[in-house]
Structure 1
Amino acid sequence: MRMRTKKVLAWCCMALAFAFAGNFGVQAEEIPTDAESVQEMIDHVKAYYDAVSASDLQKANELRGEKNPADEILQEVLAAHEHGKQRYENVCVKVYPMEKEEDWLAFVTYELRVESIEDLMPGAEVYVLEKQADGSWWMIKEPNQQTAEEAKQMIHELAIDEDILRIDEEYNQLYAENPDVAVWTKEIQQEIAERYTLVQEENNASEKYVVKKGDCLWSIAQEQMGDGIKWTILYQKNRTIIGENPDLIPEGMQLSIENEISR
């Protein structure tokens, strides 16, 4: 894969795409024939992007799967929203069967509407999806080495590169016409890095509480800090993780409880 193509997948519009090496091959004509499963996966991925576009962290986490609560891509998207990134547009999903029977590769292209410019910014992501026992799909954030190698080779051998190159060209043109985009994206990168550093520092000095179904900040403060009114302290402590809506705390999210005020 060309260097600039790698750059687009790894960076373009905050996309988190896999970049792995491997030697497993698959022919472009090996397109899935199970139409029902393919449509189910496409609907699932599009529903996920709809949830992210609406900043519905809880719904997006549910669609990604319980193994990925409040993961990095959602935090990046929410951070980007604060800088003017409005929503995903024109989401297109292509799915391909992998070597393991229940694994599929999903290649997603999309456009992002940005407040500061008139055009849409293109982006792309790669996911590996696995069919669960209950029939649901979830997205694997960190696949094992074998799966990662296979995904890398599939990207090379399937007719995906044309889309990647198209996105690359569109992004470069947009970048040339809107140099302020460089400043905007750098600010987002810096803010995200600062958020993660702050969260890590806070976590090291705090006890952890895992959000349960039906929890709210008031009930957690009442249980863990002895007074529900202290929910504001709890919120400020975890604001970098929770975001701007204190009512949006999905099940599985880990909150920091200050040692000096926790039981």
Structure 2
Amino acid sequence: MHYYKFNIADYRKDTGHLSTVEHGIYRQLIDWYYLDEKPIPIETQVVMRRLRLGSEQEAALRNVLADFFVKGKDGYKQGRIDLEINEYHSQADKNRTNGKLGGRPKKTQSVISGNPEESENNPNHKPNNSITNKPSSSATRGSRLPADWKPDAELAEWSKSERPDLNLRKVLEEFRDYWTSVAGSKGVKLKWDATWRNWVRSQKADKQTFAQVAADVARTTVPAPANQDAALKEIMADRKKAVPMPAHIRDQINSAFKRA
């Protein structure tokens, strides 16, 4: 035999008391037994030479033979190995017999439908329509953002209603710049309209300056004076009547700044 099953759990359970040297001797004896399919010779020197053991390891060899083998007239035997060798030859004989008869016996049960050979031999065979067709891969395949992508009229109206505080033209430019520059599969999306909606929802409005905040507070809390419109009209009228500064006066002012 050139092959045998080795059960690690069984081996460890039966050989826990062995030393490292005894483990090596036992494993070699097992391989020898299976390979030659006959008992280990009784002559100790023959065994030691076969395993390349020194005289200092003879005691370890005798311990292993005494623990795991039974001494007989034709050598040291082991019942489990003999049983597996016999089963191996019994199966080999069956295989040879089947080979002479043309191989393994044919199965008596019918083959499950769907076998191509069975379909060819049966002209009345009907396909099984109960199997649900899977969606094509193109239906679930995403794409990168088109270079000219922009929200349609309905999506643009939704964006204005959802985030009136945003500069949507600026947001769209940032959206395009980001997704066209993302590399790999991260830049592939199934529905770009949905990606845009999520982008708009997550945007933060530009932070106002202190002056803008103060102006907003003034507009909403301070009442406008009654004569505001009249004052604005007067300012506009004065601007129209204003005369440009004479050139010599402008030159004098500039020279004064230069001397300073």
User: Counting helix residues as a fraction of each chain, which structure ranks higher?
Assistant: 2
Higher RCO structure (Cα 8 Å, ≥6 apart): 1
- Structure with bigger gyration radius: 2
Which range, TM-score by smaller chain? under 0.3
| TM-score when normalising by structure 2 | 0.21
